[in-house]
Amino acid sequence: MRRQHFINFFQIASLVMLLVAVALLAAVTTMHFAIHGAEVQVPSLKGMTVAEARSQTSGLRLNLDVDNRYYSGDVAAGHILSQSPVPGTVVRREWRVRVAESLGPQKVEVPETVGLDERVASLRLRREGLEAGVTVRLPWGKAAEGTVLAQDPPAHAQGIARPSIDLLVAAPSDDAPDGFVMPDLTGLPVVTAQAELARVGIQPARPQYVDVPMAPIGKGNALPVMPVRPGSVTAQQPAAGMRVAPGDLVKLTVAK
């Protein structure tokens, strides 16, 4: 009798354990489908129109943002140039997919804004289908406050990538600059380059010295290439014309 009770207890316990295992398996399966059901692969959007890309991402419950617009001679205006994340990336639904839209080939000429008031320069750019990009203010007592001192790309530039023009604008002499435009230092002695940077408040990093191969001697009617002087700057980071924020370090590569 006792043995029969033990067998019945064992059978009941086994049944309970089986039911628990089935319940756990069902929970894990439900969780798996819940998690993976909320995930989706990012589709390839390159070459689509923005409307087509928006329709496709909306169907997958993804959000599409047009982050940038660039000129392109290869991709028609209004079509997608690039995207982030890349196609095939698995993301959760409601993820934000950022794309760059083509403006087609550049058809506008970059106007001259140097010497103009900042607001007048912005109006001239907009009239040409362009826009003011990054505006850097530099204390400069030789020009009226708000006067454009330099622009990038320069006037009449061809093949520009973006429809925005960065401006360097004069600020009062006692203002603290909010940035600088990187000068071209290549070819200068490193001490001169460092002095130029220090003069406008840019902090140079420790120079990196590299070996420079001997320039080849010209053949036939070709003129000989002048050798690189030891101690002269051969490269710089950021490049000339780029914006340098206060506190940024400028890296100089110098010939040994």
Residue 121 has pLDDT above 90, yes or no: yes
Q: Which residue has the higher pLDDT, 78 or 143?
A: 78
pLDDT at 216: 56
pTM value?
0.48
Residue 23 has pLDDT above 80, yes or no: no
Is there a common fold for 39-102 and 181-255?
Answer: yes
Residue 161 has pLDDT above 70, yes or no: yes
Task: Confirm or reject CATH 3.30.10.20 for domain 39-102, answering yes or no.
Answer: yes
Which of these CATH numbers, 3.40.605.10, 3.30.10.20, 3.40.50.300, 3.90.550.10, describes 118-171?
3.30.10.20
In the chain, where the domains are located:
39-102, 118-171, 181-255
Average pLDDT over residues 33-47: 77
Residue 80 has pLDDT above 90, yes or no: yes
**Per-residue DSSP letters for the chain?**
-HHHHHHHHHHHHHHHHHHHHHHHHHHHHHHHHHHHHTEEEPPP-TTSBHHHHHHHHHHTT-EEEEEEEE--SSS-TTBEEEEESPTT-EEETTPEEEEEEE--S--SPPPP-TTSBHHHHHHHHHHTT-EEEEEEEEE-TTS-TTBEEEEESPTT--S-SSSEEEEEEEE-TTSPPS-EEPP--TTSBHHHHHHHHHHTT-EE-PPEEE--PPPPPP-TTPPPPPPPPTTBEEEEESPTT-EE-TTPEEEEEEE-
Residue 15 has pLDDT above 80, yes or no: no
Query: What is the overall mean pLDDT for the chain?
Result: 81
Lowest-pLDDT range, 34-43, 134-143, 156-165, 246-255?
34-43
Q: Can you name the CATH fold of 181-255?
A: Trypsin Inhibitor V; Chain A (3.30.10)
pLDDT at 147: 93
